[in-house]
Amino acid sequence: MHKQLVILGSTGSIGTQTLDIVRQHPDRFGVYALTANTSVELLARQAREFHPAAVCIADETQYERLRDTLSDTDIKVWAGSDSITHVVQAAEADVVVAAMVGFAGLRPTIAAIEAGKTIALANKETLVVAGAIIEAMSRQYHAPIIPVDSEHSAIFQSIAGEAPDSVEKILLTASGGPFRTFTKEQLQTVTAEQALRHPNWQMGAKITIDSATMMNKGFEVIEAKWLFGVGYDQIEVLVHPQSIVHSAVQFRDGAVKAQLGTPDMRLPILYALTYPERVQSALPRIDWTATTSLTFEQADTERFPCLRLAYDAIARGGNMPCVLNAANEVANLAFREGRCTFTGISDVIERTMQKAAYIPTPSLDDLYASDTEARKTACALL
């Protein structure tokens, strides 16, 4: 079956790897639309290669530049967040790959769900911020959500065919990032350049910093709660430096099922796009002669308090995960720009959560307001 894709965030890490999958399987996938935030040149090159019906640039000031660059084609050029929301609802689109980074991915993902599209979800913030709302909407509009994150894809594959009430615990693995062995004192002086050198994965800048602080793993705990219908206290984070076991599920009889693979995001992307089918691919295989040791460690929330803050946020519920995410986006960017220390990231987040007004059952409007207010608070704390 030839599926037409809308790729939200096509110029980012997940977006470009999704297009690599399309290159490898042109008989299975076509591209209906591509969207980007500001990367005009790369978006235009992608458009010329894959010839989508439309491209959207979120930054409206870049519209004329993109339009002029593609003026010799018949590709429709749109701009602004409203256009991105509109394109995901096109009748021609089969699968929406939600690969936009940050809170900005929430609105178009909701629009795609309302249109009943299959969502290949890579945008963590959608479920972190609005998990209860997204879960209910997915059921209401019969819009399946297939996880793209390697960890959630592993869990998704491990529970296939199992009764929902048979899950005792989810074992969510983490690489530990570049600072896994650093002391608290060493962490106080690490730089963004160091943090961006992830030992195993090639990812975008924001998520790479989140991996270094382990906030990324905290977000994945919150996501797993909503994706798999378990309590946050049923999710255990294990540090697994080799990044071969992508996650596992422990069942009530004591059995454990895990999914293993090379640290290559194209594998979970391909699975999300072809589910429930598995297709032949040229993606790399595990070299079992070189993979002689798989080790696991307990996560250290003293050295990496962002993970603890994520558990605190989901334990309290309401708008707290939204506040957590907003403060993290601000502090993460400040660290990359040299305006915040590495250990200061968690300080800003914790203080923002302490100052935020708590809303136990937020509406979408409440979440947008909480996001705005939390960003203002975090900026003031910086």
Could you report the per-residue pLDDT of 158-201, keeping only the tens digit for each? 999 999 899 999 999 999 999 999 999 999 999 999 999 887 77
- 76-79 vs 54-57, strand pairing mode: parallel
Residue 97 belongs to some domain of the structure? yes
Q: Does residue 168 sit in the same domain as residue 54? A: no
What is the distance between the alpha carbons of residues 109 and 316, in angstroms, rounded to a whole number? Answer: 25
Burial class (CB in 10 A: 0-12, 13-18, 19+), 232: middle
* 95 and 169 together in one domain: no
41 and 122 housed in the same domain: yes
Cα 261 to its chain centre, rounded Å, is: 19
Q: What is the pLDDT of residues 277-318, one digit of tens each?
A: 999 999 999 999 988 899 999 999 999 999 999 999 999 999
Q: Which domain holds residue 52?
A: 3-147
- Decide if pLDDT at 202 tops 80: no
Residue where a domain stops, chosen among 147, 177, 196: 147
Q: Is the CB of residue 338 less than 8 Å from the CB of residue 192? A: yes
Rounded Cα distance between 7 and 96, Å, is 6
Q: Does one domain contain both 366 and 267? A: yes
- Note the pLDDT tens digit of each residue in 313-362: 999 999 999 999 999 999 999 999 999 999 999 999 999 999 999 999 99
Same domain, 251 and 360: yes
In a domain, 254, yes or no: yes
Final residue before a domain boundary, out of 147, 182, 209: 147
Q: Of 147, 167, 186, which marks where a domain is finished?
A: 147
Q: Is there a domain that residue 115 lies in?
A: yes
Whether 143 and 161 map to the same domain: the answer is no
Q: Mark whether 317 and 368 lie in a shared domain.
A: yes
Would you say residue 46 lies in a domain? yes
What total number of domains does the chain contain?
A: 2
Q: Domain for residue 76, yes or no?
A: yes
Burial class (CB in 10 A: 0-12, 13-18, 19+), 326: buried
Is 382 part of any domain?
no
Per-residue model confidence (pLDDT) at position 199: 76
Q: What is the per-residue pLDDT across 19-70, written as a single tens digit (0 to 9) for each?
A: 999 999 999 999 999 999 999 999 999 999 999 999 999 999 999 999 999 9
The CA distance from 69 to 48, in Å, is: 10
* Structure letter (DSSP) for residue 361: S
- Evaluate whether residue 176 is within a structural domain: yes
80/217 same-domain check: no
What is the CATH classification number for the domain harbouring 253? 1.10.1740.10
Same domain for 110 and 159, yes or no, is no
Residue 367 placed within a domain: yes
- pLDDT band (50, 70, 90) for residue 1: low
Q: 95 and 202 share a domain?
A: no
CATH assignment of the domain containing 89: 3.40.50.720
pTM of the model: 0.93
For the ranges 4-13, 17-26, 97-106, 345-354, the lowest mean pLDDT is seen at: 97-106
Confidence of residue 271 (pLDDT cuts 50, 70, 90): very high
133 and 183 both lie in a single domain: no
Instruction: Write out the H or E segment, with its range, that includes residue 127.
Output: helix 124-140
Task: Return the number of other C-beta atoms located less than 10 Å from residue 333's C-beta.
Answer: 17
**19 and 68 inside one domain:** yes
